């Protein structure tokens, strides 16, 4: 007797196309829905205990790309277990760099010099940080072809600063409909003044400048800790960079091939640290955030203090306590050392249940308010006026079903769920997995009622 045969012939968002041939010989094409993982949160608190903060997503991806600059074996420690690291590993594998895990947070990368400076289309569909292979490939191998990068949808995120900077260094850059091709036999040092202190452009231009002939000066450079982390690794590899941590970076080009591989510890993720601080701020309690560096978060911690959260620096991190209803404040997102745009969804979650009315003005990505509707589903009172959101605090939020629009907003929705009555079900959590190393497990260890289903 003939049996039915199911064959998956295509994949769609949240479903697959299945070709079925029955035992009677009939053929049927079916769409089968796939239930994506979700996070379910119930009212929790007070939180207690300690949490170890993993390495920074916004640093490790650029450090991985930097291994294209020199042959040898690299070891990165404190690497977060996130899907973006896996995707960057796949991108580097396609280029010729091998990657393997030595432990849960220790990544070994080998550059044998057999590099192909063109990345297959399928490797660039989800991650904006993949743009950072452009500078290393161009400066070391003379050309680079990458596809248009992805990343979170914050509205218009042009790459003109990357392109214009490379062109000033002598590169020819062609922007096609599907890809970007850059070519230069030898980049040349020059002075580049960025229109805005773009993190991505600064990182790309610094890596491109290490092998450029002469001196490259980048004015109005980004000062973020993650930029400093990349520069420090490049210096350990043999690069000559002055002004690390300032708005003027001076890169003295070195001879091609003179850089060497290295071992480097990824800095702690300040946004993940801020997430656990926000969790205890709304749910109440007393926790220790191990690894958090207060010098990287001064303006944010000032905001927390103004809202009534006590943050006390300790030898190996910070102690965070919250026992009263939060106070509403006004704040503005700005380039480092100001309030990072990545912190904004967390602060909005805190404002939602604060006493009084507060506001946030977005100066970096005016379109980064797409998550506000999800907070409204939880009962938040938020009004949008251009690039400003006004939040009137409510006594409690109400559990509901919400969808994650981007990485940080996803974490903020989880935080909001800690103070929502009933049950909050969060879908599209693949965004969270891109940037958070076991968010659910770490919150659960602090006493939060949160689970992945």
Whether a cis peptide bond, with omega within 30° of 0, leads into 55 is no
DSSP structural state of residue 121 = G
CA distances from 341 to 49, 160, 330 (A): 28, 20, 14
Q: Tokens 């944010």 correspond to what residue?
A: 300
Tally Cβ neighbours within 10 Å of residue 4: 11
Q: Pick the catalytic residue: 6, 84, 152, 269?
A: 152
For 412, left (φ over 0), alpha (ψ -120 to 50), or beta? Answer: alpha
Partnered with residue 265 across adjacent β-strands are: 77
| Residue 152 is a catalytic residue | yes
Q: In what order do the strands lie in the sheet with 27-33?
A: 5-12, 15-21, 27-33
Which pair of tokens denotes residue 135? 């500078």
Q: Helical H runs in 112-267?
A: 134-141, 160-168, 199-209, 225-236
Which pair of tokens denotes residue 330? 């006004």
DSSP structural state of residue 81 = -
Burial of 316 (C-beta count, 10 Å sphere; 0-12/13-18/19+): exposed
CB burial readout 119-152, b (16+ within 10 A) else e: beeebbebbbbbbbbbbbbbbbbbebbbbbbebb
Partnered with residue 318 across adjacent β-strands are: 289, 313
* Whether 264 contacts 66, CB under 8 Å: no
Q: Helix (H, G, I), strand (E, B), or coil: what is residue 294? A: helix
Q: Are strands 39-42 and 423-427 parallel, antiparallel or unpaired?
A: antiparallel
Q: Which residues are catalytic?
A: 152
């Amino acid at each position: 007797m003939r049996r039915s045969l199911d064959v998956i012939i295509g994949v769609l968002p949240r479903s697959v196309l299945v070709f079925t041939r029955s035992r009677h010989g009939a053929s049927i094409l079916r769409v089968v829905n796939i239930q994506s993982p979700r996070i379910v949160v119930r009212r929790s608190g007070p939180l207690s205990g300690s949490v170890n903060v993993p390495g920074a997503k916004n640093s490790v991806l650029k450090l991985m790309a930097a291994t294209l600059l020199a042959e040898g074996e690299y070891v990165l420690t404190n690497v977060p277990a996130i899907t973006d690291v896996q995707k960057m590993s796949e991108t580097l594998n396609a280029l010729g760099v091998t990657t393997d895990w030595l432990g849960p947070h220790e990544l070994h990368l080998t550059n044998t010099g057999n590099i192909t400076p063109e990345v297959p289309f399928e490797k660039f569909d989800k991650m904006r940080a993949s743009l950072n292979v452009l500078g290393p490939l161009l400066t070391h191998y003379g050309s680079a072809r990458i596809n248009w990068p992805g990343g979170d949808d914050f509205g218009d995120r042009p790459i003109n600063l990357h392109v214009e900077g490379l062109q000033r260094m002598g590169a020819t850059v062609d922007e096609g409909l599907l890809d970007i091709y850059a070519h230069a036999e030898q980049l040349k040092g020059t002075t580049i003044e960025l229109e805005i202190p773009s993190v991505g452009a600064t990182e790309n231009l610094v890596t491109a400048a290490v092998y450029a002939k002469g001196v490259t000066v980048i004015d109005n450079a980004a000062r973020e800790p993650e930029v400093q982390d990349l520069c420090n690794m490049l210096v350990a590899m043999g690069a000559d960079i002055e002004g690390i941590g300032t708005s003027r970076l001076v890169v003295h080009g070195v001879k091609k091939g003179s850089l060497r591989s290295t071992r480097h510890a990824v800095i702690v993720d300040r946004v993940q640290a801020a997430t656990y601080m926000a969790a205890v701020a709304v749910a109440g309690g007393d926790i220790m955030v191990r690894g958090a560096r207060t010098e990287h978060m001064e303006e944010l911690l000032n905001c927390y203090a103004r809202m009534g959260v006590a943050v006390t620096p300790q030898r190996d991190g910070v102690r965070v306590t919250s026992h009263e209803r939060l106070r509403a404040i006004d704040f503005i997102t700005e380039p480092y050392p100001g309030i990072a745009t990545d912190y904004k969804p967390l602060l909005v979650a805190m404002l939602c249940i604060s006493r009084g009315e507060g506001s946030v003005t977005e100066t970096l990505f005016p379109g980064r308010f797409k998550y506000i509707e999800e907070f409204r589903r939880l009962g938040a009172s938020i009004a949008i006026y251009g690039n400003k959101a006004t939040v009137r605090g409510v006594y409690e939020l109400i559990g509901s079903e919400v969808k994650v629009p981007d990485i940080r907003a996803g974490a903020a929705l989880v935080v909001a769920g800690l103070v929502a009555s009933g049950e909050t079900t969060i879908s599209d959590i693949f965004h969270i997995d891109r940037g958070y190393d076991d968010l659910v497990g770490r919150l659960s260890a602090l006493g939060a009622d949160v689970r992945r289903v």
